[in-house]
Amino acid sequence: MENGDEDNVPVEEEWQALPLEYIERGARRNISSRRVNLWALVLEARSIPCRLEPGEQGMERLLVPPHLIRLACTELSLFEKENRNWPPLAPPPRSLKENTLATVSILLLLAIFHNLIQLDLALPGIYSPDWTSLGKASAAAIMDGQWWRVVTALTLHADWLHLSSNLGIGGIFIIFLCRELGSGLAWTLLLASGMLGNLINAMVQQPSHSSVGASTAVFGAVGILGAISLLRYRHQLQRRWLLPVASALALLAVLGTEGKNTDLGAHLFGFAAGTIFGLLTEHLIARKGQPGRMLNGLLALLSAGVVMVAWWLALKAG
């Protein structure tokens, strides 16, 4: 019987277990089966024949032909050296800001504003303005140049149920976001997300479309928080870094699509805008650090100023 080249191939009975001490310093025979299986995949990727078999105490052994032991050990040693610090450790948790009282106070101001405009109070030079007509996010008016409506609409609500749902559910995300980033930066991002969401919604809707409510900014908060977690834990192999994103999408699906008066476009675009701003913010914070107290204060004043100027322009135009 002719064997040809097969005489040069070692038979399986001659295969030997890899000496672990030559692969990784300090390794023992009871190395985890998960690591041994990973090494087998590495050798297969390098076209080095190998096989697994049960060893002592239920542990697996990795066997290769004797003439390839040195090559296999070299390849696995290089693999361990290159991946020694992978995945990187999770970043340390950032200290949360103590600003819950300030955040709740701003949310209460939104409720007070809703109450005041229901009283039909007359302003100097203006007799009982129709706040909803002046400030709602009318697609035709926005596209006609009344940009302030993308801001004023965020401070208006259809009724108490609408207001309480935004403050109750959205307040949780807003409070956490303010503690995470600082009040000034958080409110600036919330306002920017709501404005951009309303603007894009006006661009894609029919001219007759109009909407009110802070929910655009609320879903912006959800997008910001999801994006921050997504970018911060991008190097982690655990599945937990996907949970904030999945939670954000689930909230959008549950709360953002129900009710006949629900503006799905505003919710969706607010969420998308928040996601973009969240990615940019986390990228900048990772490089430059979190904003200091003075910058946060300036951003808070800027956000308040934008809202006041927007309403001044709305009243002036009306």
Per-residue pLDDT tens over the stretch 43-70:
888 888 988 887 666 667 788 888 888 8
Which among 281, 267, 268 is positioned nearest to 230, based on CA atoms? 281
Distance CA 264, CA 201 (A): 9
Distance CA 245, CA 275 (A): 10
- The ranges of the chain annotated as CATH 3.30.70 are 4-82
Burial class (CB in 10 A: 0-12, 13-18, 19+), 183: buried
CB of 270 within 8 A of CB of 217?
A: yes
pLDDT tier at 138, thresholds 50, 70, 90: very high
Once rounded to an integer, what is the mean pLDDT over residues 289-311? 92
Q: Is residue 9's pLDDT more than 50? A: no
pLDDT at 17: 79
Alpha helices in 95-214 (DSSP H): 100-117, 131-135, 139-143, 149-152, 160-165, 171-181, 183-204
Topology given in CATH for the domain delimited by 4-82 = Alpha-Beta Plaits (3.30.70)
Residues 6 or more apart whose Cβ sits within 8 Å of residue 196: 150, 269, 270, 273
- The ranges of the chain annotated as CATH 1.20.1540.10 are 100-317
Which tens digit of pLDDT belongs to each residue from 54-112? 766 666 778 888 888 888 888 888 887 777 766 555 556 667 788 899 999 999 999 99
Greater pLDDT, 27 or 287:
287
CB of 197 within 8 A of CB of 266?
A: yes
Residue linked to tokens 């994103």: 245
Q: Which CATH superfamily is domain 100-317 in?
A: Rhomboid-like (1.20.1540.10)
Record the tokens describing residue 49, joined without a space. 């024949």
Give me the phi and psi of 63, to 5 degrees please. -115, 145
